[in-house]
Structure 1
Amino acid sequence: MPTLDINGLVIAYSDTGGSGQPVILGHGYFTDHTVFDAQAEFLSPQWRIIAWDARGHGNTPDSAKPYTYWDQARDALALMDHLQLRQAIVGGISQGGFIALRTALLAPDRVTALILSDTEATPCDPADKVGYGQMFQALREHGPIDDLTVPLAAQLFGEHAGHHAEDWRSRWKNGPLPLGNSALCLLERDDVSDRLHEITCPTLLMWGTEDLSLPRDRMDLLAARVATATPVHEIEGAAHTPALTHPDQVNRVMLSFLESLEIGDPAPRRRR
């Protein structure tokens, strides 16, 4: 898979290519760019779908020094520079949304629209910080044992995720886990909720109705403070990773949103 080097940091990404409007998507914690495979297949070639691995995930190694989601927003902008993209639609799930929001705040002239799923603008809730911190510590001490990965998979993908849960539990057992500075980045993220009024681009909001990681009110805050946001589109039956587990619903919502945008039409689009 292609990579780019930012001062020694190697970032891995996938790219459907083509002349369609570019859509850059970031995944949630403990997953990688492949959670968007169904969207890449469904939306290309009308849209150029670029999905990337955040630091410490997939094929992107973690950084030796601490960093923030603002730094990872700069990673997204560096990816755009690498691909010679002046502007793009930017989005993500959970931490991918944290990064997308900060990308739009850093470079509003380069983000033509936002696609946000199961994410928030507020810092890590104190109770969540304790719970996640304990989980990270347990994974460091015991590794990806079933007692830890079974509930983690249920949290991310839902109680009835089937092969998705099995696939990711296998990946966690056979690959490095994001337990270094990526965990610190997640737990210590800052609050950008007071800056949401600065976002003026069209913004799509989606949320899985069975998401136990992120309460609905955190999406409602985005809807209330981003003046150009859609109402929260509920993905029925989905947990924290709707794009992976409920692609048909997500694809329909994304297609409708993308077709509503008036940001140029570089390639013919066909109805599905």
Structure 2
Amino acid sequence: MPIAELNHQGIFFEDSGGTGPALILGHGFLMDSRMFDAQAEALAPEFRVIRWDARGFGRTRWDGQPFTLYDSAADCIALLDHLGIQRAAVGGLSQGGYCALRVALRSPERVRGIVLISTSGGASEEPFRTAARQVRDLWGTPGATENIVQSYAEVIIGDPRFHSPWLDRWRQTPKAHFAAAMNNLIDRDDIAPRLGEIRCPAIVFHGLDDTALPATEGQALFDALPGRSRFVPIPGAAHAPTLTHPESIHAPLVEFLRSLPA
């Protein structure tokens, strides 16, 4: 397995390789880099597509310590360094989008453009935090975990045809991993007032049937970015359109990536 030892973590990644412009993608909560399989297949070899697993999920070897989205942003930049990539388009879905925004704030010189899917710049509001803490504390409890898995599959993925194999992966997530990743979301800071600092080109995708994060959040994010180029609403998509509606993503994404300055 391709593992990079970065920031005291063993970061799992996949790299399509080649000499094309680089796009690095971060996944959403409970997911892993495999949620971008369709994008990697569609974009390579014109583009070099790098996907990676965040701390606590997938095949990354996490050190067990608490982490924040700024730690994830540091992991992303360290992976680019590891691969010898000076500048890249940086993107992500939900949690991965929160990370991408922080990469753009922390290291703007490394970001050619930003690809944001089902995400926002705001912090969690208290009703979400309260519910998330309850879910966090119930994870691993007999019976409760299965209810959570089924509920999250509906909210995150939506279309049951795409639930497998994700449900089995989620059931195997240890409580410590789930709790640390959930705390990462609950405690994220509000960067909405700083979005005007992100001046690179930006494209925003959002499912119109997203109940985890309404499409109005995606529109607000797009409106706040000075370098905005296109907002792409995706009819019928829930929170993970890269899985369920890849055909709605590929053409706008390719057009966007081709438009980026060198």
Secondary structure of 1:70's counterpart equals helix
TM-score, normalisation: structure 2:
0.95
Counterpart residue type for residue 82 of structure 2:
H
**Distance verdict in 2 for CA 1:248–1:225, change over 3 Å:** same
The residue matched to 1:24 in structure 2 has which SS? strand
Counterparts of 1:209 and 1:249, CA distance in 2: 12
Contact 1:116 1:203 (C-alpha < 8 Å) held by counterparts: yes
Q: What is residue 157 of structure 2 aligned with on the other side?
A: 157
- The one-letter code matched in structure 1 to 2:202 is T
Q: 1:5 is matched with which residue? A: 5
Query: What amino acid is aligned across from residue 74 of structure 1 in structure 2?
Result: A
* Secondary structure of the structure 1 residue equivalent to 2:163: helix
What is the Cα deviation at residue 173 of structure 1? 2.4
* Divergent runs of 4+, >4 A: none
8 Å CA contact retained: 1:14, 1:51 = yes
- Asked whether the equivalents of residues 38 and 244 of structure 1 are also in contact (C-alpha less than 8 Å), the reply is yes
Residues 129-180 of structure 1 show CA distances to partners (whole Å, capped at 9, x for unaligned) of 112221222223237743221111000001x231x21311122224536323
TM-score by length of 1: 0.91
Q: Distance in 2 between matches of 1:77 and 1:16?
A: 18
Instruction: Provide the C-alpha distance between the structure 2 equivalents of 1:221 and 1:135, rounded to a whole number of angstroms.
Output: 28
Aligned length: 261
1:204-223: CA deviation from partner (whole Å, max 9, x where unpaired): 10001110000122212212
Give unpaired runs (5+ residues) of structure 2. none
Give, as a single letter, the amino acid of the residue that structure 2 aligns with 1:109. E
- Report the alpha carbon displacement of residue 19 of structure 1 after superposing the two structures with TM: 0.4
CA deviations over 1:34-89 (Å, ceiling 9, x no partner):
00000000000000000000000101133432221011101100000000111110
Superposed CA offset, 1:19-43 (max 9, x none) = 0101000000000000000000000
Tell me the residue number matched to 1:83.
83
Q: 1:258 maps to what in 2? A: 257
User: Which residue is 2:124 aligned to?
Assistant: 124
Give 1:91 shift. Answer: 0.2
Alignment match, 2:201: 202
- Taking only the aligned residue pairs, the percentage that are identical comes to 37
Distance 2:242 2:63 in 1: 27
**What displacement does 1:109 show?**
0.5
